[in-house]
Amino acid sequence: MRVSTKSDYALRALIELAAEPEDRAITADELGKRQDIPHGFLQSILGDLRKAGILLSQRGQSGGWRMARPPYAVTIADVIRAVDGPLVSVYGVRPESVAYNGRAEVLKPVWIAARDALREVLETVTIAQLAEGELPSSVLARTQDDEAWRPH
């Protein structure tokens, strides 16, 4: 899986927002400084998260950004979909919509299975858990094997 810079920045910004009191908005400048995210890029990401109903923008002297939904109700998968689209795509098409000929048809269930495996982790971890530094035991269990840490 390739995690885009956009998804990484979005998650980092949301972790910062989730750690703040519910009624406190944080400016894009402050978020960018805390996580070393370029301002223009961050503004675009925050706009995508607003369109997806994950963030609210607040104007005025105490303006900025805050969570539109409780952090426990937003998963990593929600964030990736908001800023990058589907978790798995094959040349820009969702795996269930890909058409293959002949022997290559066997690839379709591979892409479906890969998406299912990603969902098992990414739809389980919430922004609240990330902000608290507490991952679900099912996710932590996947990191116990040394093989999980080795690049292939």
- Does residue 149 carry a pLDDT above 90? yes
More confidently predicted of 23 and 51: 51
pLDDT category, 60, cuts 50, 70, 90?
confident
What is the pLDDT, as a whole number, of residue 45?
98
Tell me the CB-side half-sphere exposure of residue 127, using CA atoms within 13 A: 29
User: Do residues 98 and 90 touch, judged by C-beta distance below 8 A?
Assistant: yes
Chain mean pLDDT for the chain:
94
pLDDT tens for each residue of 91-142: 888 999 999 999 999 999 999 999 999 999 999 999 999 999 999 999 999 9
Contacts of 56-61 with CB under 8 Å at 24 or more apart are 58/25
Amino acid at the residue 150: R
pLDDT tens for each residue of 85-102: 999 999 888 999 999 999
Please count the other Cβ atoms lying within 10 Å of the Cβ belonging to residue 54: 23
- Does residue 58 carry a pLDDT above 90? no
What is the pLDDT, as a whole number, of residue 78?
98
